[in-house]
């Protein structure tokens, strides 16, 4: 699974050099920020020399979903202050998806940490290779950024398979995304997360009320 990050990193590295930045910025973004989908957005922002405030706000909006990950990520299994710090730093979408899956329920902290480290290396290595290769790719070749879409497709399908009996949750998520896209096109991600969380809370409390009455 983590190996999927290599082609994605390659795509990111090529994207960085095609945007006019030096190849090693791909490595720097990948290793130091380590937030894939935001890094794709950041390339566009810095290419346009956006104010640092805009950069900070975009990072906040795109990555605020990680706050939810902290609620169920098994950090308590990771021991040691440095290891815990690194584990939070490397708490990506992919790390969260893998460590909260059914099969990961018995994984010890050491395994979680190695998984995170390897995914970090795959991502940074892929980005560096992509940055170096990018200048050799003709300008006519586009569309590598689809790797990110493909990654989320795979993660969504795997998550759906794990909660096969729970159709309302993905339907609510899809509806939240559609409403956010139409009503708040410029803040779609934040609006979609807020709507989805609110919808889940409403569902939870109405179900609880119903079971209490029964």
Among residue numbers 24 through 43, which ones bind another protein (CB under 8 A)? 25, 28-29, 32-35, 37-38, 42
Residue 67 binding another protein, by CB under 8 A: yes
Stretch that binds another protein, among 51-59, 106-114, 123-131 (CB under 8 A): 51-59
The two most distant CA atoms of the chain are separated, in Å, by 67
Given the complex with another protein, which of 117 and 148 has the nearer CB atom?
148
CA distances from 111 to 2, 73, 183, 198 (A): 13, 14, 43, 34
Closer Cβ to another protein, 71 or 214, answer by number: 71
Shortest spacing between CB 68 and another protein, in angstroms: 5
CA distances from 209 to 46, 92, 168, 201 (A): 50, 35, 18, 12
Footprint (CB under 8 A) of another protein, residues 138-177: 140-144, 146-160, 162-163, 166, 169-170, 172-174, 176-177
70 binds another protein (CB under 8 A): yes
Q: How far apart are CA 39 and CA 33, in angstroms?
A: 8
Convert residues 74-103 into a mask of x (bound to another protein by CB under 8 A) and - (unbound): -x---------x--xx-x-x--xx--x---
Residues 96-135 contacting another protein, CB under 8 A: 96-97, 100
Give the binding range for another protein (CB under 8 A) out of 61-69, 111-119, 128-136: 61-69
For position 44 contacting another protein by CB under 8 A, the verdict is no
Question: Shortest approach of another protein to residue 145 CB, angstroms?
Answer: 9
In contact, 90 and 30? CB cutoff 8 Å: no
């Amino acid at each position: 699974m983590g190996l999927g990050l290599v082609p994605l990193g390659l795509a990111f590295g090529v994207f960085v050099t095609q945007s006019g930045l030096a190849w090693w910025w791909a490595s720097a973004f990948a290793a130091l920020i380590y937030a894939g989908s935001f890094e794709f957005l950041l390339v566009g922002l810095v290419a346009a020399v956006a104010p640092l405030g805009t950069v900070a706000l975009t990072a906040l909006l795109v990555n605020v979903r990680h706050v939810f990950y902290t609620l169920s990520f098994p950090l308590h299994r990771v021991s040691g202050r440095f290891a815990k710090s690194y584990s939070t730093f490397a708490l990506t979408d992919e790390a969260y998806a893998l460590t909260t899956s059914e099969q990961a329920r018995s994984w010890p902290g050491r395994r979680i940490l190695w998984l995170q480290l390897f995914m970090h290396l795959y991502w940074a290595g892929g980005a560096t290779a992509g940055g170096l290769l990018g200048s050799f790719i003709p300008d006519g070749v586009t569309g590598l950024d689809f790797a990110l879409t493909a990654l989320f497709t795979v993660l969504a399908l795997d998550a759906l398979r794990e909660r096969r009996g729970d159709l309302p949750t993905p339907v609510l998520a899809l509806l939240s995304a559609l409403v956010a896209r139409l009503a708040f096109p410029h803040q779609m991600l934040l609006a979609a997360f807020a709507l989805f969380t609110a919808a889940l809370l409403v569902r939870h409390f109405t179900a609880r009320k119903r079971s209490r009455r029964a």
